[in-house]
Amino acid sequence: MNISASLLEIAVIALGVIVMLADLWTPSAYKSWLGRVSAMGLAAILLGSFAMEVTEPIAAFG
C-alpha cells in the first residue's frame, strides 16, 4: 500500500476529527474560532498539495 497516494484524504479526515473533538471541549464563547481554524487547516492542506512531487501516476493499492 502506498501511503503517499492517500495522504491528502488522511489529512482532511484528521483535521475533521480534531475539529470535532475540539468542538466538544471548547466553550461557546470561542466556538466562532473553530470555523476559522478549520478553513486555515484546509487551506494549509491545499497549499501542501501543490508542494507534493508526483512523478508518475500512483495506485494506492497495488
**pTM reported for the whole predicted model:** 0.79
Q: What is the mean pLDDT of the chain?
A: 87
Is 41 a domain residue?
yes
Is 23 a domain residue?
yes
Is 18 a domain residue?
yes
Q: Quote the pLDDT of residue 16.
A: 96
Is 62 a domain residue?
no
Q: What's the grid cell of residue 28?
A: 461557546
State pLDDT tens for residues 10-61.
999 999 999 999 999 999 988 889 999 999 999 999 999 888 877 677 676 7
Is 46 a domain residue?
yes
What letter does residue 57 receive in the DSSP assignment? -
Q: Quote the pLDDT of residue 1.
A: 58
Q: What's the grid cell of residue 54?
A: 508526483
Q: Quote the pLDDT of residue 6.
A: 83
Range of the domain at 15: 3-50
Q: Quote the pLDDT of residue 53.
A: 75
| SS3 assignment, position 54 | coil
Please state the domain count of the chain. 1
* Phi, psi angles (nearest 5°) of residue 3: -70, -25
Amino acid code (one letter) for 49: S
What letter does residue 1 receive in the DSSP assignment? -
